[in-house]
Amino acid sequence: MIIGQIRDGIVLDHITAGRAMEIYHVLHLGELDCMVAMIQNTDSVKMGRKDIIKIGQVIDLDFAVLGYLDPGITVNVIRDGALVKREHLSLPAFLRGVIRCKNPRCITSTEQEIVHEFRLTDPAKRTYRCVYCDTVAGREP
Amino acid sequence: MKHLIDIMDLTVDELDAMIATALDIIGNPVKYSEACRGKKLATLFFEPSTRTRLSFEAAMYELGGNVLSVSSGASSSAAKGESVADTARVVSCYADIIAMRHPKEGAPVVAMRNASIPVINAGDGGHSHPTQTLADLLTIRREKGSFENLTVGLCGDLRFGRTVHSLLLAMSRYAGVRFVMISPEELSLPHYLISDVLEPNGIPYEEMRDLDAAMPQLDILYMTRVQRERFFNEADYIRLKDAYILTPEKLVSAKPDLCIMHPLPRVNEISVAVDDDPRACYFKQVLNGKYMRMALILKLLEVKV
């Protein structure tokens, strides 16, 4: 299977195997009118298996969302066929409007205009807590 | 501008300074009787409360200030659907400081972000109640003389009891403190307080089911009410509400200088026969709460006396 190099665009590398489809949906890549290629379960020296997404144009990415979903991802920006920027992601210290608090007693459950915000309280356990009610984020990253 | 949303917003030094102010108020009340003349406290209570609201209002009056009061959500514009953010902006035009109680957790954070005056969290659902902890800390300081080397028993509803969580966080910053958690399994302390607070800081703790067995080692016994409003299921409430009741018989094995505390209101978890025991400190906590709220208002309004 051969997927060619891109001239201008972004390569999301080192995606945890099996996570590419989720990232594809969260980043709304299906709404782009450029080429998007998704490679799943390809061999990786570092990871054993990994996923890769290639996007055929340079778009603004929400690094906080990506870092939360999969902090091991490497973002490569390609221009005129050359690598111009490589970004290694990490867990963001703060998430704004990315995930929602599931605590029915939280003020965010009744006042819809409040943006849901979480702060990273334990990087080792990847624990995020709601800044309003301290409830742990429901999703296990 | 400073606010009080969570007890951990205050450093140990700030707490010590506030306790010193409270002790000075106790010794010299006249010195503080005009300290807040011309200042207004807005007590916005969107959930029923007697003690806390009256305590804040008494505190402000004893500082020579005035009070604007909303005593229930039904009698405020919140009943018409006004947001917490808008309420905070509006009240900022009328008052100099806000004390807010709200049934929704995190509402005081929203108020703080939108008010142009200091905001005090006077209780947000089952989440946090920092001024109760201020009352608790002054009580411990006055009864024990120090916060260090104490064995603190926490009994009753440790899962939903917000005062227990705040007290544990505050006391965990002092040397030599150990905790004994006494509760039924269903109401045991949330695990994150053990994994995020006690264990990383090497604070000794023990979880027990039997109040009698725990009693002899305790310097402080902090009783809590099993609160009906924290349960989604009425049957669970009825099954667990009488799990731990303190009686004079249970106190036979207690230390002679035990300090018995309770955030009140009590239902039946402390027998009225205990009230005359000199070790009962729960009504002293009420008075201490007023003094600490006075010290807090002075601090947040940056009033020097």
Half-sphere exposure at residue B91, Cβ-oriented, CA atoms within 13 angstroms: 32
* Sign of the alpha-carbon dihedral angle for B223, B248, B259, B264: positive
Domain containing B122: what range? 7-128+289-300
List of chain A residues whose C-beta atoms are within 8 Å of the C-beta of residue B192: 136
Contact A132 B105 (CB under 8 A): yes
Q: Are B278 and B150 in the same domain?
A: yes
What's the full length of chain B, in residues?
Answer: 305
Give the C-alpha distances (Å, rounded to integers) separating A44 from A15, A38, A53, A110: 10, 15, 14, 46
Residue in chain B nearest A107 by alpha carbon: B104
Q: What is the pLDDT of residues A65-93, one digit of tens each?
A: 899 989 999 999 999 999 999 999 989 99
Contact B126 A105 (CB under 8 A): yes
Q: Are B80 and B186 in the same domain?
A: no
List of chain A residues whose C-beta atoms are within 8 Å of the C-beta of residue B230: none
B8 near A CB under 8 A:
no
Please report the pLDDT score of residue B227 as a whole number: 72
Distance CA B227, CA B257 (A): 29
Strand partners, B182: B155, B208
Q: Are the C-beta atoms of B285 and B135 separated by less than 8 Å?
A: yes
ipTM of the complex: 0.86
Please state the rounded mean pLDDT for residues B113-134: 95
Distance CA B262, CA B283 (A): 9
Within-domain flag for B1: no
Q: Work out the minimum CA distance from B221 to partner chain A, whole angstroms.
A: 27
Q: Are A83 and A99 in the same domain?
A: no
Contact A105 B192 (CB under 8 A): no
Q: Are A59 and A126 in the same domain?
A: no
Within-domain flag for A73: yes
Within-domain flag for B116: yes
Confidence band for B281, pLDDT divided at 50, 70 and 90: very high
Residue in chain A nearest B106 by alpha carbon: A132
* DSSP assigned state of B206: E
Confidence band for B72, pLDDT divided at 50, 70 and 90: low
Strand B66-70 versus strand B97-102 pairing type = unpaired
Q: Are B65 and B124 in the same domain?
A: yes
Q: Are A59 and A108 in the same domain?
A: no
Distance CA B290, CA B301 (A): 16
Please report the pLDDT score of residue B75 as a whole number: 60
Within-domain flag for B305: no
Strand order in the sheet with B119-124: B66-70, B40-45, B97-102, B119-124
Confidence band for B76, pLDDT divided at 50, 70 and 90: low
Contact A107 B106 (CB under 8 A): yes
Q: Are B136 and B244 in the same domain?
A: yes
Within-domain flag for B147: yes
Within-domain flag for A114: yes
Alpha helices in B32-173 (DSSP H): 51-62, 84-92, 107-114, 130-144, 162-171
Within-domain flag for B84: yes
Please report the pLDDT score of residue B126 as a whole number: 83
B160: number of Cβ within 10 Å: 19
Confidence band for B185, pLDDT divided at 50, 70 and 90: confident
Q: Are B77 and B121 in the same domain?
A: yes
Residue in chain A nearest B109 by alpha carbon: A132
Q: Are the C-beta atoms of B296 and B18 separated by less than 8 Å?
A: yes
Within-domain flag for A136: no
Distance CA B115, CA B3 (A): 10
Distance CA B51, CA B266 (A): 12
Residue A49 has pLDDT above 70, yes or no: yes
Distance CA A1, CA B157 (A): 61
Query: How many separate helices (H) and strands (E) can be counted in chain B?
Result: 10, 9
List of chain A residues whose C-beta atoms are within 8 Å of the C-beta of residue B126: 105
B3 near A CB under 8 A:
no
Q: Are B248 and B295 in the same domain?
A: no
Q: What is the pLDDT of residues B11-21, one digit of tens each?
A: 999 999 999 99
Q: If interface means Cβ-Cβ distance under 8 Å, which residues of chain A face chain B? A: 103, 105-111, 113-114, 121-122, 130-136
List of chain B residues whose C-beta atoms are within 8 Å of the C-beta of residue A111: 83-85, 104, 110
Q: Are B144 and B273 in the same domain?
A: yes
User: How many distinct structural domains can be found in chain A?
Assistant: 2
B165 near A CB under 8 A:
no
Confidence band for B286, pLDDT divided at 50, 70 and 90: very high
Contact B125 A111 (CB under 8 A): no
Q: What is the pLDDT of residues B21-58, one digit of tens each?
A: 999 999 999 999 999 999 999 999 998 888 899 999 99
User: How many distinct structural domains can be found in chain B?
Assistant: 2
Q: Are B157 and B65 in the same domain?
A: no
Within-domain flag for A1: no
Within-domain flag for B80: yes
Q: What b/e string do you get for A16-52 counting C-beta neighbours within 10 Å, with b at 16 or more? A: beebbeebbeebebeeeeeebebeeeeeeeeeeebbb
Output B192-201 pairs: Cβ under 8 A, ≥24 positions apart.
Answer: B192/A136, B193/B165, B193/B168, B193/B169, B196/A121, B196/A122, B197/B168, B197/B169, B197/B172, B198/B168, B198/B172, B201/B172
Please report the pLDDT score of residue B196 as a whole number: 85
The CATH number assigned to the domain holding B179 equals: 3.40.50.1370
B85 near A CB under 8 A:
yes
The CATH number assigned to the domain holding A18 equals: 3.30.70.140
Q: Are B232 and B200 in the same domain?
A: yes
B201 near A CB under 8 A:
no
Q: Work out the minimum CA distance from B299 to partner chain A, whole angstroms.
A: 24
Within-domain flag for B107: yes
* pTM: predicted TM-score of the whole model, two decimal places: 0.87
Residue B152 has pLDDT above 70, yes or no: yes
Domain containing A63: what range? 9-88
Please report the pLDDT score of residue B192 as a whole number: 82
For B150, phi and psi rounded to 5 degrees?
Answer: -115, 145
Give the C-alpha distances (Å, rounded to integers) separating B56 from B41, B82, B127: 8, 24, 20
- DSSP secondary structure string for all residues of chain A: ---PPPSSEEEEEEEETT-HHHHHHHTTGGG-SS-EEEEEEEEETTTEEEEEEEESS-----HHHHHHH-TT-EEEEEETTEEEEEEE----SEEESSS----TTBGGGT-TTSPPEEEEEETTTTEEEETTT-PBPSS--
* Percent residues over pLDDT 70 in chain A: 96
Alpha carbon B266 to chain centroid, angstroms: 14
Residue in A108, A121, A136 closest to B106 by CB: A108
Contact A105 B103 (CB under 8 A): yes
Residue in chain B nearest A114 by alpha carbon: B110
Q: Are A45 and A99 in the same domain?
A: no
Within-domain flag for B159: yes
Please report the pLDDT score of residue B79 as a whole number: 62
Q: Are B69 and B192 in the same domain?
A: no
The residue of A96, A100, A105, A107 whose CB has the most chain B CBs within 10 angstroms, and thus the best one to mutate to test that interface, is A107
Confidence band for B186, pLDDT divided at 50, 70 and 90: confident
- DSSP secondary structure string for all residues of B128-169: B-HHHHHHHHHHHHHHHS-SSS-EEEEES-TTT-HHHHHHHH
Q: Are B96 and B238 in the same domain?
A: no
List of chain B residues whose C-beta atoms are within 8 Å of the C-beta of residue A130: 106
Please state the rounded mean pLDDT for residues A18-43: 92
Q: What is the pLDDT of residues B291-301, one digit of tens each?
A: 999 999 999 99
Alpha carbon A28 to chain centroid, angstroms: 11
Q: Are A80 and A111 in the same domain?
A: no
Q: Work out the minimum CA distance from B142 to partner chain A, whole angstroms.
A: 31
Q: Are B276 and B192 in the same domain?
A: yes
Q: Are A56 and A109 in the same domain?
A: no
Please report the pLDDT score of residue B229 as a whole number: 67
Confidence band for A141, pLDDT divided at 50, 70 and 90: very low
Contact A106 B106 (CB under 8 A): yes
Q: Work out the minimum CA distance from A19 to partner chain B, whole angstroms.
A: 28
Strand partners, B99: B43, B120
Q: Is B226 helix (H, G, I), strand (E, B) or coil?
A: coil
Please report the pLDDT score of residue B46 as a whole number: 92
Q: Work out the minimum CA distance from A105 to partner chain B, whole angstroms.
A: 5
